[in-house]
Amino acid sequence: MYEIQDGVAVIELNRPPVNAMGLELRRSMWQALHAAHADGGVQAIVLAGQPRVFSAGADVTEFGTDLAMQSPTLFELIDAIENSPKPVVAAIEGLALGGALELALACQARVAHAQARVGLPEIALGLIPGAGGTQRLSRLIGLEAAYPLMATGQPQPASKLAQTELFDQVEQGDVVAAACARARTLSARPPAEAHAPLRTHRRLDAQSVQSFVAAQRERLTPKQRLQPAYGVLLDVLVGTAESFDVGLKQERDAFMSLMGTRASKALRDQFKAERAASKLPADMQADPRQVDTVAVIGAGTMGTGIAIALLDAGLTVRVLEQDEAALARGMARIAQYYADRVKAGKLADARAQDNTARLASSLDWHTLAEADLVIEAVFEDLAVKQAVFKQIDAHARAGAVLATNTSYLDIDAIAASTQRAQDVLGLHFFSPAQVMKLLEVVQGARTAPDVMATGMALGARMKKVAVPCGNAFGFIGNRIYNAYRQQCEFMLEDGAWPEDVDRALTQFGFAMGPFAVADLSGLDIAWRMRAAQAATRDPRSRYVSILDTLCEQGRMGRKTGAGYYTYPEGKQAAASDAVVRQIITDASAARGIERRTLSADEIVRRAMLALVNEAACLMQQGVAARASDIDVVFVQGYGFPKWEGGPVFWARQQDRAQLEADLDDLGRQVGHGFVRGDVAALLQV
């Protein structure tokens, strides 16, 4: 929109939903700017957005395409603003991120609402600000204030930055009116003042810059050192001690170089994959059912975590238990969670009180009649869950959505306990449910489209990354993780120690190694699952008994003080102890394996191949709707390094012939029962 208000041309960015500065918006802004320049009745210009968003910045979908470089580019637009013959003022409400903040920095003044938030999130895509952000912001407010905006990627409220030179005014009221007033004032400046050197171009003290950069480089974490953008950002900040033109060129060269890195390609791929995952396939799209009240059955750790996630999303929650003491413990756990959040300053007391006011508990099954959605979160046993669903079927109102939080079990077998299988789906939360972002939304054979849509909508409301998947053992995540864990166990028999495998995979970028994860979650969980499958296990298949032996000796992980590792004073020992090494050595001998040293590269590649092969099998079976969904699941739920993109992205970076050969070799190592996946579906971009 373009209108003139008392000599000020107000150019409103209007490209819903987030005013991303793609080619179409850039062209309309360019035309409006030139119209304002040509209009003799216009003395100044104001750039404004919408109440909730000034602009989320550059259009990420254009990155790496010709659209990003078509004129006017963001660089050209910024140059036109900075060199405008008439003063330009940015009126910032809501979010101003990335290229939008860089655009505002080129303006002669900035007026922001106190609740506006600004940031430079490019680091989350493996990039640095590429349109002057590193240079203009640092020179304007100093490295100490500017660096956190770039290095964390987290936006900050304008009120927090009000004392810096970033904003000329921070307002509680009408930001556009205030910006227009500021623009008129600037247009009346004497010529000498109007052409004064820009504050965003001043040169910083070289010694101070060097000291700051050196200190920050020392503070980079191991994970940040694995991603090139963090080091490159610091390299570019050194240029703030140079002339503005030199610093700007260094920034632009670095940005273009980072665009071609594997890390940035992976992070951008994950960005797109997360957005694609939120959409159901065409044949399942429908309007979701209304959900205001949710009943959670089970007040254990998972049930209370789910309840907290629902309360945080503004829903009314009823927690149901069969045991009064268990219910009291669960309610106390929820109350303590909110008390701790308030005490830590992470949640306002009023918000905590509002959440707990929407919470009630009961031992009465009739409570289910109040719920639009019922989530079962009881013990992971099919018979137990089937018994619970018979009660749900008897007491839940007609049309309520019925969900099970199972991690592995058959959704259809659970739904068969009801007279309304069309209303049943899986909602696989990851622990702790109030923290973990991933939610697998599982479709049974008879799950209605609007029930799936309801599950996906609930995930979005809870600000989770919801991924649809089919009903198969372990769904997407646990099914593939099981193959990964199994391959890591094979490597123990072949010659590696637990710490060798864990170290190689954490150095690759995983948040934790598989054996540290097993100890953390408890070895008895997998032990029970193995025992349940023992009767159907093919005796010809390679089976590693190491975990079973550990459990038989009472080594259940952290909770018992020993598992694959010991935990003196609650801290994990750096290496496995003599007991574990003897168990592993005995397992190798029983299989007739001569142990050998496995390099870190071999460990990582074998683990990745196991992930890729199982992912290919899932795609063939239709468990995952899109190959990219598999990457989203592993990044969000299993600690896969986001800058490596996920197992599918990893597979697409490999030489096809070599990948095929390595998968064949993996099959020979696994032996009987190995199912070779067809990777063709994974490799199609």
Residue 590 lies in a domain: yes
Q: Can you tell me the mean pLDDT for 131-145? A: 96
Tokens matching residue 2: 């373009």
**pLDDT single digits (tens) 600-613:** 999 999 999 999 99
Tokens matching residue 458: 């609930």
**pLDDT single digits (tens) 283-309:** 888 999 999 999 999 999 999 999 999
* Ramachandran assignment for 559, one of left (phi > 0), alpha (psi -120 to 50 degrees), beta (any other): alpha
* In 146-297, beta strands by DSSP E: 156-157, 169-171, 293-297
Which of 122, 171, 274, 493 does the annotation list as catalytic? 122
Residue 276 lies in a domain: no
Question: In this structure, are residues 476 and 629 in contact, taking their beta carbons and an 8 Å threshold?
Answer: yes
Question: In this structure, are residues 146 and 274 in contact, taking their beta carbons and an 8 Å threshold?
Answer: no
**pLDDT at position 61, please?**
85
Which of 82, 102, 493, 499 does the annotation list as catalytic? 102
Q: Are residues 464 and 514 in the same domain?
A: no
Neighbours of 599 (CB within 10 A): 11
Task: Provide the residue type at 610 as one letter.
Answer: A
Tokens matching residue 48: 């404004």
Confidence of residue 44 (pLDDT cuts 50, 70, 90): very high
Q: Are residues 143 and 239 in the same domain?
A: yes
**pLDDT single digits (tens) 566-591:** 999 889 999 999 999 999 999 999 99
C-alpha–C-alpha distance, residues 619 and 606, integer Å: 20
Neighbours of 110 (CB within 10 A): 26
Pick from 131, 145, 10: nearest CA to 63: 131
Torsion of CA 300, 306, 307, 309, to 10 degrees: 140
Residue 307 lies in a domain: yes
Q: Are residues 47 and 195 in the same domain?
A: yes
Q: Is 195's pLDDT higher than 80?
A: no
Pick from 129, 130, 117, 122: nearest CA to 153: 122
C-alpha–C-alpha distance, residues 259 and 610, integer Å: 29
Neighbours of 71 (CB within 10 A): 11
Neighbours of 672 (CB within 10 A): 9
**How many structural domains comprise the chain?**
3
Distances (CA, A) of 455 to 24, 188, 490: 35, 57, 37
Backbone angles phi, psi at 82, to 5 degrees: -65, -35
Task: Provide the CATH number for the domain around residue 100.
Answer: 3.90.226.10
Q: Can you tell me the mean pLDDT for 62-71? A: 87
Q: Is 145's pLDDT higher than 80?
A: yes
**pLDDT single digits (tens) 445-481:** 999 999 999 999 999 999 999 999 999 999 999 999 9
C-alpha–C-alpha distance, residues 550 and 548, integer Å: 5
**pLDDT single digits (tens) 100-115:** 999 999 999 999 999 9
Residue showing tokens 């190491």: 546
- Residue span of the structural domain in which 602 resides: 478-683
Q: Which of 441, 472, 503 is the last residue in one of the domains?
A: 472
Q: Can you tell me the mean pLDDT for 510-534? A: 87
Give the 3-state secondary structure percentages of the chain, helix then strand then coil, rounded to 5: 55, 10, 35
Residue showing tokens 């409301």: 461
Identify any residues that bridge with 469 across adjacent strands, giving them in sequence order. 442, 624
Question: In this structure, are residues 414 and 440 in contact, taking their beta carbons and an 8 Å threshold?
Answer: no
Question: Rg of the chain over CA atoms, in angstroms?
Answer: 28
Q: Are residues 106 and 194 in the same domain?
A: yes
Q: Can you tell me the mean pLDDT for 73-96? A: 95
| Interhelix angle 74-82/23-38, nearest 10 degrees | 20
Torsion of CA 542, 548, 549, 551, to 10 degrees: 160
Distances (CA, A) of 580 to 498, 503, 544, 584: 9, 17, 14, 6
Q: Are residues 63 and 203 in the same domain?
A: yes
**pLDDT at position 527, please?**
85
Task: Provide the CATH number for the domain around residue 361.
Answer: 3.40.50.720
Q: Are residues 640 and 674 in the same domain?
A: yes
Q: Are residues 351 and 499 in the same domain?
A: no
**pLDDT at position 537, please?**
82
Task: Provide the residue type at 317 as one letter.
Answer: V
Q: Which of 427, 446, 472 is the last residue in one of the domains?
A: 472
Residue 277 lies in a domain: no
Residue showing tokens 């623009």: 183
Q: Which of 472, 506, 531 is the last residue in one of the domains?
A: 472
Q: Can you tell me the mean pLDDT for 208-214? A: 97
C-alpha–C-alpha distance, residues 298 and 305, integer Å: 10
More confident residue, 164 or 195: 164
E strand or H helix at 553: none
Tokens matching residue 566: 């010991």
Q: Are residues 214 and 311 in the same domain?
A: no
Q: Are residues 525 and 442 in the same domain?
A: no
Q: Can you tell me the mean pLDDT for 530-540? A: 80
**pLDDT at position 194, please?**
67
E strand or H helix at 36: helix 23-38
Residue 280 lies in a domain: no
Contacts of 214 by beta carbon, 8 Å cutoff, 6+ apart: none
Burial class (CB in 10 A: 0-12, 13-18, 19+), 144: exposed
DSSP structure string for 94-146: SEEETHHHHHHHTSSEEEEETT-EEE-GGGGGT----SSHHHHHHHHH-HHHH
**pLDDT single digits (tens) 395-424:** 999 999 999 999 989 999 999 999 999 999
Task: Provide the CATH number for the domain around residue 567.
Answer: 1.10.1040.50
Residue 282 lies in a domain: no
**pLDDT at position 525, please?**
79
**pLDDT at position 520, please?**
92
Q: Are residues 421 and 357 in the same domain?
A: yes
Q: Are residues 513 and 595 in the same domain?
A: yes
Q: Are residues 222 and 95 in the same domain?
A: yes
466 SS3 class: strand
> Is 102 among the residues known to form the active site?
yes
> Is 122 among the residues known to form the active site?
yes
Average pLDDT value over all residues in the chain: 94
Residue 671 lies in a domain: yes
**pLDDT at position 685, please?**
63
Q: Is 191's pLDDT higher than 80?
A: no
Residue 278 lies in a domain: no
